[in-house]
Every structure is written in structure tokens, then in C-alpha cells.
Chain A
Amino acid sequence: MLSPESLKKIDREIAKYPPDQKQSASMSALRIAQEERGWLANETIEFVAEYLGMPAIAVYEVASFYNMYDLAPVGAKKIVVCTNLPCALSGGVHAAEYIKKKLGIDFNETTADGLFTLKEGECMGACGDAPVLLVNNHQMCSWMTEEKIDQLLADLKK
């Protein structure tokens, strides 16, 4: 189900916790699984559960509680824009509107070619860098002017 590389990464996470507390690695195991599979299907969650010796429902609870896990397919590039108050005061909402216009989609939609999904995010802890976007959960983009958004979208299309 998951590649040997992913399993090796998960094993490294398990080793961080006391031997009888393997379930502590559930969050990182789900993250690693999502990196490989793009999103978390029920079978993927069940696989992670079995690997960690946990009931599937316990892992599903984790996957559905934290909002960076995707329980449904998303575009190849998921863009999350922070529109919370500090970002909004420095153009977070404008940046989101600009991306919507450029991609022709609204929040929680995916472009027809399956390339981009756009989401509205909550505080990323980078308010001084507003407007801030997060690409595929891991790449934070700071001070996103319209020009920089154009450049980013062009780069992501490559």
C-alpha cells in the first residue's frame, strides 16, 4: 500500500515515542501517507491503522480532526490562502480573490484540469508575511503580491 521509503519514514517517527506508545506516530504516519497518495482514502487510513496496531476508527478520528489532512481527492497543487484578520488587513482577501479570478474557481473547488485546488485557511502563524499562501501543506509563500502570485502559478504549472 505504501512505498518502502514511506514506511521507513514512518518507522523513524515511531522511534520517537516510547515503545508502548506507537499510536503517537499516527499524525506523522497520516502525513507521510498523504504525501505519497495525494489524499487519504479509507483504505489508506486502514493501512496506517494496521501498521500502527490501532483501531481504524481511532486513526480516522485523527484524520478527520486536523484540517491539513484531505479526506477527498484534491488537485495536484493545493493552495491554501490565509484570510484571517491580520492577513486580511494586509491583503489576504484580495490575494484570495485574485487567485480565484486567475484560476476561475472558488474556495473548495478544483480546476477542470485537476491541477489546482483552492482553500481558505486559518492562521498559519506567519501574519507578518501577509499575504501568505501554503502550497501542498509544506511550502509557505510569503508577501504574495499579484506579480508573485502570477509567477507562483506559472511555476506550479511546470
Chain B
Amino acid sequence: MTVQGIILSPDLDGDRTWRIGDYVKRGGYDALKKIIADKIPADQIIGEVKKSALRGRGGAGFPTGLKWSFMPRAFPGAKYLACNSDEGEPGTFKDRDILRYNPHTVIEGMIIAGYAMGCERGYNYIHGEIFEVYERFEEALQEARDAGLLGKNILGSDFSFELYAHHGYGAYICGEETALLESIEGKKGQPRFKPPFPASFGLYGKPTTINNTETFASIPFIIREGGDAFLALGKPNNGGTKLFSVSGHVNKPGNFEIPLGTPFSTLLEMAGGVRGGRKLKAVIPGGSSAPVLPGSVMMDCTMDYDSISKAGSMLGSGAVIVMDESTCMVKALERLSYFYFEESCGQCTPCREGTGWLYRVVHRIENGLGRPDDLDLLNSVTTNIMGRTICALGDAASMPVQSFVKHFGEEFAFHIEHKKCLVPKDVQHEGSKIYVA
């Protein structure tokens, strides 16, 4: 493994060191044991998470400690915890590695979160296509139960917490937190209107907190080593290390866990540089929903929430899709637009109809049937979707369109005028051949 972090730490050995015994040897469950032994108050744990400046790793980057403080701990009755491992944002493949190489760090993080927020039960919602990972997580849960770390009276204390895995079955929208809750309830994964927020009306109508897999995986370190130690790994307001999934035109695609604030150029180098020595053209820095940036802009960025946001995009889930000069930007956008069209849940008209319009218009431009006013049309469709839907999928479908047209408008105009790609077909073909590092 090429990673040097606290979650996918260097002492992991791929598939061979995920079991509870290996995890305990790495200091695993020390944080939980300390909490139980010292009867650390819940407020102190939340305070530590706030101090760490840990921000939600699923895409929104919301401060985790603040989110935890929204839970009405004194509320009588059931409260729930959910882990969002429904990783289906094109470009993102970090949670899969966390779950298969270090599942207990997620389990420990969830138990600590359950303790801090007074939850009695948690679910880890695992992406449908990674069944093998789901099965392994089930095994890891059983190991934790057998060791007295899950269930009734954990480690002899009066704290009880149950944790289960819920397996998705192929719906990108379930990565949206309220759709995820609907899905755990055994329904179609259609997002709920907010407010009420899950902290007051969540799973089965009870207070619920949802965090990403990597967020939970960061918790044991924060409790064991302290919030300051985590913060110091990153930069102010951007605590800790972060996993970046690098895909596309690089020599060594994969996950890289690096301190927030690391220059993009360093990350690109870690991923082996641009494939075949070709020139960097564009980068989507935070998963397919994040606005694309020209390569030259990216080369001046550091990999943290603030720098990427200043450059006009989002760090999102940390999925870095690298495209070199052999890429036709219209074709790239066409594929992404098809994805959102396919995955729109159909609940809100602007998204259900709008994503279809976006795909069909980009498709006709790519196929030489573009019309002179198509770029204006695309723009108008995106502005009629954005902000007019229940969840963020509509925005997520619109931002790629707006940014591709903004930064690579001349390529779109060329297609419309000349009925063909600016990048010759054989160059595209060569650039997207089967490539295995």
C-alpha cells in the first residue's frame, strides 16, 4: 500500500491485518477502553472532536463536533447513529479500502459516537456493489460482539450499543443522508424534505446522526491522541489527514492518505504523474459532482477544503479525477450527465426532467447535432434545476455542466460549429485504452 496515514496506516498489510487481534495490536479500542475506564463525560468527547477541526469526509465538509452537538442527548427514547458507506460518487473509492483493510476503526469510531450522543443503536449502510466488503464488515462486527465491545453493558459499563450492517442494492441517491434513512426503513431511497433535520427526526422518526465512514474512522485517533494532535496533522480549520482517491489518467491510481493542505502537485506525483507523459488538461478535485478545474489552476492548489473552494470547486469526497490532453471534454461531460440522469430518483420535477435535458443536449453536441444556442440552453436548464429540488443531486448534476462549459467552452463551440471533436478520435482512443498499472 502506498498510504502513510492514521486510517490506512503504514502498518496495515492489505487483506491480512483487518481482524480484531491485529487492530488491538495497533492500539485499536484503546480510545474506547479509556472512555469507559475513566468515565469520560460525553461533552468532553464532543469537545475533543470540535477541537480537532474534523470536517465531514463524505463531501459536505461540515464540522463533525458541531453536528454531534445538535443531537438532543436528553431526549427520552431511542436515538440512532448511521454510517454512510454508500460510496457511489464517480471517482470515490476510499471507504471501500477503509472497510476492507481497517473495519474495526469504523466500528470503534461508531461506538464512541454512540456513547457521546447517547445512541442505543447504529447502522452502517454499505454500497450495494461491494458485497465482499459487506460480508467482511459483518464478520468484524461479530468479532467486536464476541470481545464484549458491542452489545449490552460494553466492557462491564452501563453503556449499551448495538451495531449492524445494512446492505444497499444499487442506488447512488442513497448516499444522500435522508434517502439513506428511507432505505434503512425498507423503502425507495427518496430524500426527505429538510427541516426537520435528522438530528430531530431521523431513522424511524427518532433523533439520528449520520456521518461518513472516513469521519468515523478518524475518531479513535482523535480520542487516543487528542484533538490537537489531529488538528496539527492538517492545517487550521482543516484538521487531520484525508484520503484522496486518485483515478483517471495517472500512472498509479489509488488511495493516498495525506495531510490536508498538501499541494496537488505532490499528490499527482504520488499517483505516478500523468500517464504516458502526456499533458494535464483538467481535474475534478472532489468527485463527479464537484466543478471541474483546468489543470493549470489545480497545479496551484493545495488539497484542503479552503484552497479548492477558493479556486472555484469543492474538495467534496476527495475523489480526484485526472484528465490528460487526450480527453474530449464534451464526451467526458456526456458520460457524467448520463449518470445523473440515470440516478435521479424522480421525486422532484426540475431534477427528473432537467437531468434528462442536460444529458440529451450534451449528447447531441458530442454527436455532431449541436445547435448554436445549445450552450445557452444548457445554462438555462441548470439554473432552473439548482436550488429548486429537495436534495443536492440536482445541483450535483448542474455543477459539472456549468463548469465544463465555463472552462472548456471553446471545445463545446468547436463541436457545435464543426460537428466533430477538437481532440482527434484516435488520440482519444489511445488515451482511454485499457490501462493497468
Contacts and interface: CB of A to CB of B under 8 A. Distances in A.
B432 interface: yes
Interface stretch (A71-79, A102-110, A138-146, A150-158): A138-146
Contacts of B247: 86, 89-90, 127-128, 130
Given A66-B171, A91-B434, A91-B435, A85 B336 contact: yes
B245 A128 contact: yes
Contacts, number: 180
B93 interface: yes
A25 interface: yes
Contacts of A89: 247-249, 321-323, 327, 431-432
Contacts of B204: 18, 21
Nearest to A66: B169
A71 to B, nearest CB: 13
Given A95-B434, A122-B88, A125-B92, A65 B189 contact: yes
A54 B288 CA distance: 37
A122 B335 contact: no
A10 B175 CA distance: 24
B167 interface: yes
Interface string A1-32: 00000000000000011100101111110110
Interface in A122-138: 122-131, 134, 137-138
A152 to B, nearest CB: 14
A23 B96 contact: no
Interface in B205-254: 245-249, 253-254
Given A84-B335, A84-B339, A94 B88 contact: no
A128 B168 contact: no
A27 B186 contact: yes
Contact of B343 (A122, A125, A140): A122
A88 B187 contact: no
B92 A23 contact: no
Interface stretch (B9-17, B109-117, B129-137, B152-160): B129-137
Nearest to B123: A16
Contact of B335 (A18, A52, A65, A85): A85
Given A16-B166, A30-B169, A89-B248, A125 B95 contact: yes
B319 interface: yes
A58 B304 CA distance: 43
A81 to B, nearest CB: 12
Contacts of B58: none
Contacts of B187: 23, 58, 61-62
Interface in B183-217: 183-189, 204
B170 interface: yes
A68 interface: yes
Contact of A128 (B129, B255, B336): B255
29 contacts: A16-B164, A16-B165, A21-B186, A28-B167, A62-B186, A66-B169, A67-B170, A69-B169, A85-B335, A86-B90, A89-B322, A89-B431, A91-B433, A91-B435, A93-B432, A94-B432, A94-B433, A94-B434, A122-B90, A122-B172, A123-B288, A125-B129, A125-B130, A127-B245, A127-B319, A128-B245, A128-B254, A130-B435, A140-B130
